[in-house]
Amino acid sequence: MEVILKQDIPNLGFKNDIVTVKNGYGRNYLIPQGIATLATKPAIKVHEENMRQRAHKEEKIKNEALALAEKLGGSTIKIGAKTSSTGKIFGSVNTIQIAEMLKEQGVEVDRRNIKIVEEAVKEVGFYNAVVKLHKEVTAEFKFEVVAE
């Protein structure tokens, strides 16, 4: 019996895979639990069309992320921070401040997708950060911490 999986199942397959299982396992467990549907010819055609449309949408999202990565790659962001006379920052610069500065430049990025390469930003100077825009696309950019 062939079924189309609706979710990942360990040792069987991933979501949207068409797999062959024993009749009893499919009829008595997978289908009643809503984990899979029977892979009839019409269901397979609908599944293939959905996968084609999903691939097209994913490609569009990936291209937008690549364009955004190219825009970020050559830019340097300036972040103002209160500093002492020696150049040390009161506190530190974090991903929230970087996300806000990117938003001001017209690039909306979730702060959880930003990672600062150095351990802690506690002095004035240049630093690197990496932002994950898509599961396959990351962009590295520089930011400068300046005294306010």
Name the CATH architecture for the domain at 76-147. Answer: Roll (3.10)
The C-alpha atoms of residue 45 and residue 41 are separated, in whole angstroms, by 6
The domain spans of the chain are 2-65, 76-147
pLDDT of residue 26: 95
Name the CATH architecture for the domain at 2-65. Answer: 3-Layer(aba) Sandwich (3.40)
pLDDT of residue 84: 86
Q: What secondary structure does DSSP assign to 37-81, as a single string? A: EE--HHHHHHHHHHHHHHHHHHHHHHHHHHHHHHHHHT-EEEEEE
Report angle CA 83, 140, 88 to the nearest 5 degrees.
10
- Chunk the chain into consecutive blocks of 10 residues (it has 148) and report each block's average pLDDT, rounded to whole numbers: 93 92 96 95 94 91 88 83 85 88 86 86 88 86 87
Q: Are strands 18-20 and 137-147 parallel, antiparallel or unpaired?
A: unpaired
The C-alpha atoms of residue 144 and residue 61 are separated, in whole angstroms, by 29
The C-alpha atoms of residue 146 and residue 123 are separated, in whole angstroms, by 9
pLDDT of residue 11: 92
Nearest residue to 116 (alpha-carbon basis) of 143, 136, 80: 143
pLDDT of residue 49: 94
